Amino acid sequence: MKDLPIEIVYGILAVTGGIARYLNSYVSGQKFKFSVLLASAVVAGFSGFMFALLGETMAMPATMIHIMAGVGGFFGEQTLKFIMEYVGKKSLGDSQGT
């Protein structure tokens, strides 16, 4: 993966995390639907990518950022909510002089 742009690597890890989550629900008894798998992959790709960029912004080590991409993809929508809360707290903290 060293020849791929790092953003592509983040996306691959994020989508893989989302697919893993969907397949986990399938193994637990949920009916398989390709359209839901595809939607899960798209949401996971976006959320995992955003989580990886958050890790870059925080100057985390590369391995941690890769983990964040996969975990962010696995948790999908919850990841986006976390990022919104984090950015909101940072913005409020900056505007209050802290």
Report DSSP letters for 20-48, one per residue. HHHHHHHHTTPPP-HHHHHHHHHHHHHHH
Return the pLDDT at 70. Answer: 95
Phi, psi of 71 (to 5 degrees): -70, -40
Per-residue pLDDT of the chain (98 residues; tens, 9 = 90+): 568 899 999 999 999 999 999 999 999 999 999 998 999 999 999 999 999 999 999 999 999 999 999 999 999 888 888 888 888 887 777 555 44
Return the pLDDT at 98. Answer: 47
Return the pLDDT at 45. Answer: 95
Q: pTM for the whole thing?
A: 0.77
